[in-house]
Each structure stands twice: as C-alpha cells, then as structure tokens.
Structure 1
Amino acid sequence: MALETSADNPAPLRSISLALQGWIARLGAVWVEAEVVQPKLSGNTYYLTLRDLTATMSISAIAFRGVIESSATPVTDGTRVIVHAKPEFYSPNGRLSLKVLEIRPTGEGELLAQLERRRQLLAAEGLFEARWKRPLPLLPRSIGLVTGKGSAAERDVLQNVHDRWPGASIVVRHALMQGSQSAMAVIGALRELDAAEHVDVIVIARGGGSLEDLLPFSDEALVRAVHGATTPVVSAIGHEPDVPLLDLVADLRASTPTDAAKRVVPHVGDELAGLAATRERARQAVSAHLHREAAGLAALRSRPVLRSPAAFVDAQQDVVSAQRERARLAMRARLNRAHDEVGHHLARVRALSPLATMQRGYAVALDPSGRAVTSMESLTPGDDLVLHLTDGHATVRVTDLQEHPHE
C-alpha cells in the first residue's frame, strides 16, 4: 500500500526506508546482463559495479568470494557476464545494490570458459606434457610451412628464414587460417608435410586476431593431429598474449611468425662467428699444449741426469767397483779363515788316524775272514794272518803263541 503523508502528517524517514526495503525485497531474484567494473575483494566478499552494456547506467553489487571464484573464467574488470542477483536495499544508509547469487561469463568470456574446459580435458589425457616435446633439428633439410596464402605471416617467415640462412629450403602449404573450415584445412596440410621424408620441422603460422579468429587453432582435432605428428611442430599463432591450445601441444611455441623463423634456423653470421671463435679457441688450446710440453721437455733436459748421462753412469760404476772390491776382500778373508780351519781339522783327523799309529811301527792283523785280531785267544798255531802296514800288507802264519805277562 502507498503511504499516506502530507505536509501536516509527514512520515518518519525510517518508515520510508523500511517501506523501500520491503518493496524491493518483493522483487525477488532476477537475471541481469552487464559488464563488471572494478571488482575488489575484502575479506570474504567481492564488491563490484555492474554497468549496462549500452546505456550510461550502473549499480553496485556484492558477491561472496566462492560465487566469483567458481566462475569458469576469471572475473576481471571489463568481463561481460550474466548474473543471477537479488536486489537489496540497506536501510541504514539508503544504499541499493544487487546481491549476486550466480555469475556466468558471456560472449568472449563464454568462449574462454569453453576453451578452458577443453584445455583441462586434453591436459588430463597428457597431451601437453613436456615428455612429448621433441627438440628441433639444428639445421633442417627442409622447413614445412602451413599458413594463409599471401599472408603477412607467410612473408615474415620466408623473409626471416632466408635472411638468417640463405640456403634454407622451405615447403609451403597454404590453408584457410580462419573460419569453420580452417582447422580441417590446417590438419590436411600438416599431415601432407609430416609424410614428406625431407621435411624436418613444420611451422604453423598466422598473424594476430580476435579470440573468435583464433578459435580454429584450439580445435580438438587439430590438437590431436599435432600430438600425433612424427615431425616436430612449431606453433606461431597470433601475438605474444595469444595462447591457443595449439601452443600447448606444439613441440615449440613461438611468440610470432618472425620469432618462429628465428627458432627453426640459426643465423649464418652467428654460426660463422661461432665457428671462427671455436677455431681460435682450438688453436690457442693446441698452442698452449705445445708450449707446456716444450717447457716440460726443456725442464727434463736441464736435469743433470739428462744433461750428462755418462756422469751418472760413471758415478754408479765407481760405486759398483768399490762394492766389488769390498766383496773380493771379504771373500778372500773368509776363504783364508776357512783354509785355516780345514788345516786344523785335518791335523786332528790325521792325529787320530790308524795310519799315523802304523807309521810309528804298528801293524793291523786280520784273520782270513777279514776281522781284526785283538787277542791271542782267537789264534792257534798254523793260522794264517794278513798284516796291514803303512805301505802294503803281508800274509804270515802263526808258529808260536806267547802270552805277555800281566803287569
């Protein structure tokens, strides 16, 4: 009901505020399309402004942190969105705002959300993992180029490749680089170049454009075709900020077509300078090695043993001669001592020998069996004996036995 007021019967301000709060609360939640302006996070709440897409109108809005951060794409300044919100009137200060219950990106934001979902699914399959990335050849035999016919990207790649390496071979395959048929055209050109035996690297190049213009290079079929290619692929799509899914699956991402040309071939001037520097380092290394060896040889030759080799031999010969003379003297002394000892032993042996006794007039008597006769008891007259003397022996016969009287 409308409030009945007059100059004589005015309503308190609180009544008006509470009435406005009640009327606005009865509106319920509504879907609103607008542009986000200056979202700010404070604690667990986002404060932002929603601006009309055509008219100069705006309204304050608030949203819990979880509502904003659950969006498929980041909600930033200028993002076009559709929100489900409930109007609220804060009576203490008369502030009208929308309480955001749900937020969805629209237009370019919706495209970004779709691309993000596609990226997550392909990443979950492992198509973007670094282990699949192949290194580019140092100097490819031929460079495959997939680009638009007569495009600035084609001119940039051809010019920069030939400027850097004049002898480079480039095989160009033209394809639609925009529109619904673009992805299949690029896939066909890619497969043709991938099957060519002499093509060692493939560049897919296109100049910059809007998000919609670059959508073919985020096509799932194209991403899978690049992943399945056996030839290294370089993605050179758009400018530095543009990141289609092709950049993620390619073996190398170039920020621009010009950058791709710099990545696939070296600069001939740099290579010649590097070769000259390497040759100079090698020359210096060999020269330094020769100088070290010459210095070492000079040091060896300056040593006494090499400066006069005979002096060392002479000195050692003197040592050998002295040692030999000492050995000779020692051996002679030892032989003399041994000779004396043998003489002493010989004299003792001779003194104990029966021959020495026999030389004093004694003889040894043996019976016919060869046993020595030591007593008369073993003899009888007529026995034959053999007497051994110092210079021979004689055979005798016993004729008489006489016993010596005992003393």
Structure 2
Amino acid sequence: MKAAIITIGDEILIGQIVDSNSGYIAKSLDKIGVEITEMISISDNKQHILDTFSKLQNTVDLVIITGGLGPTKDDITKKTFCDYFNDELVVDDQVLEHVTQLIEGFYKRAITQINKDQALVPSKCIILHNKVGTAPGMWMKKENTVFISLPGVPYEMKYLIENEVIPKVVQEYKRPYIIHKTILTYGLGESLIAERIEDWENNLPEFIKLAYLPSPGRVRLRLSARGINKEILVKTIAENVISLTKIIGDIIVGFDDSETIEVVLARLLSQQNKTISTAESCTGGKIAQLLTSVSGASKYFKGSVVSYTTDVKINVLGLAAELIMEHSVVSEAVARQMAVNVKSLMKTDYAIATTGNAGPTKEDGNAKVGTVFIALATPNEVIVTEYDFGQPREKVIDRTVIKSLELLQKEILKNV
C-alpha cells in the first residue's frame, strides 16, 4: 500500500515555518505498513493543488493533505476539493454544533459567520471529527485513490491521524508488515563501517534493506524488513542483528532511535551510581544540554560551568592566570585543569572539559581553527586528547560534543 503526503502553504515554501507534519504522518503510516512514495510542499494556489491531485491520482492508494482548512480567505482546500470531486459545500450540523460549543463554551465569545463557515464541507466527503479544533478532516475517494485533508495545526493534525485516520486505514486496507531495527554506532565513519560489514550486507535476504544514516560523530544503521509474515520478519531481523554485533560490536552503543548516546550514558551512570559534571568553553554548554535532555538526569548530572571566556576560567573555575599565559587558553594543560577543577567543584565521579577554537577566527590564543582539547577526569586519572575537527564552526562544535560523550562512554564501560 502506497501513500503520498502534501503540505499546503506559502509559509512553508518561503521558509517561514518548518514542515514537521509530514514527518509525523510518515512515521504513523509506516508503523501500519503503508509505504510513503512522495512528500510534496505546494503553494496556496488552486490550480497548483488540482494539478498535484491529478498527478497523484491512481498512482498511490492514499493522498494525505495538511493545511488550507482555516477560516480565512487564503484557506482554499475545501473549495478545491469541491472542484476536483465535482461537489459542493454544505453545512454539516454535527460540525456546526461542535464549533459553536468550542467558540461559545470554551472561548466564551459569540460565534461569528467566519466560525460557522468551518462547518461547510463537501457533500460527498466522510467527516473526520476534530475534537481539538474547529476544522474537520475530510476523507474522499476518487477511482483508486483516497484523498484525506487535515488541518495544518500540528496538534489538530496529530489528533486526527491518531484517532481518525489510522484506525480507518487499518479497518479498510490490507497492509504488509514493515519492521525496522536501528543500530546506533559511534566512533567510525560511514565508509569505514561499510567496508567492515560488506560481506554481511551482501548476504542480507532480499526482503531486508540496510540504510546508513550518518550524522556528526555517529552512524545509525537501519534494517527494514517488509512482508506478510510478521514472525519471520522479526526473527530474521534479530538473527542478522546478532551476526552484525559480532562484526562491529566495538562501536555499537545502542539500538533503536531512542538509544542515543545520552540515553546510553544515562543508563550506565545510573546503574553504576556515578555522577558527571562539565566545564565547557568551545561547546558552550551543549554537552550539558544533551546530558540533561534525558528524564531523570538529576540523578547523575550535577552541573556545568560554561567558561567561554578566559576570565571565567580564572574567576569561576579557579585556573591560574599564569597557566593560561604559559600554555594558551587552547591547550592540553588548560583542558586538564578545567576538568580537574570542575570535578572538585561539583564533587562528581567524572568530569568533561572542552577548550578549542571553533572558528571562524582564532580569537584567544593562536590555535589553528578546528583545534580542540577534550579532557576527561575519571575517578583514577585525567585523560586529555587533542583533535583537529577542521571547519566549519558548527561541525567543530558538534563533533566535539559527540566525541566527548563517546570518550566518557568508553571509560565507563571499562568498569562494567
């Protein structure tokens, strides 16, 4: 079963807002075995919408549209639906009653004609009742394709997908199973991983596909299996994950998208009853942000000093001015002392410190742009490593953050 997703709105095309709806819809459909073949963003233009409908007609089973259902004149999806389906708008009494209760009962104001017009729907459509907003969803079929129109407001769209669209699709269509398994790796690039697992990848069954999903410092390997026998899919995926672990187990840190390195670290630190603090210069608090993004982080994360300038390193972290003058702010000595001092200040078992030149200019010191020192203070020693992360600035910062967490994870695992 195949589907296409259309987002309508000039605000998306000019970059004023980011389209998050398509991703949510795609994930929801994927879970029930619907294959997404296209995602399209188009303008609030009647002819453009009609042309897009015509292009998708009979090429997919479902077309899901978000946007253009508001009460203002630039919201034209309902009228365009009528043109495409040779239909007319009529008042739906149940929708009108809901809109009236929402406006007068919840918002405590008199309903206007523009609010009442939200109850106008194509006469041939199946109403998808929107209990959290005024614009109803619409389900209409032409030949072999169902067109589903949803509001663009994210929480309204999500409500309708979860409570109306998915249950109806499950009820009316037979679908294959789609099983995904994501393996999270750190410390090795995409091409090097591909070389190590080439034979394994070449021997995957035809119904299992492997995708490489690289990002700074990490690569996710996603296995996707599609078929009619769920038990066989799950069993085969599991067997291939076991054989993959034997090949690259040294760089695997978790499974599935929820198993990010910060989640893995949260589990390891909690299990060992250990604590962590950070002293960050070039990373500007991003390591602390990631560590605290996991629920329950207060159990293992004590605090951070974002010592972005030299005077904060001296006055807050307690580094000697002479040390900085002798070695420069971007140096092994400064990184080491930052880690030692913040570990003592916060009274933690581990501490991470970063100092470097992310660019684009050299600023303090004379270190080459891309030079970073990462220090990790453990219960027994302080490890300092120098890196050249190149350019641009964003890449340097992201790679420093990921590498810092990777070093911490490897050190903790020594004690598991």
Query: TM-score, length-normalised on structure 2?
Result: 0.20
Structure with more relative contact order (C-alpha pairs < 8 Å, separation 6 or more): 2
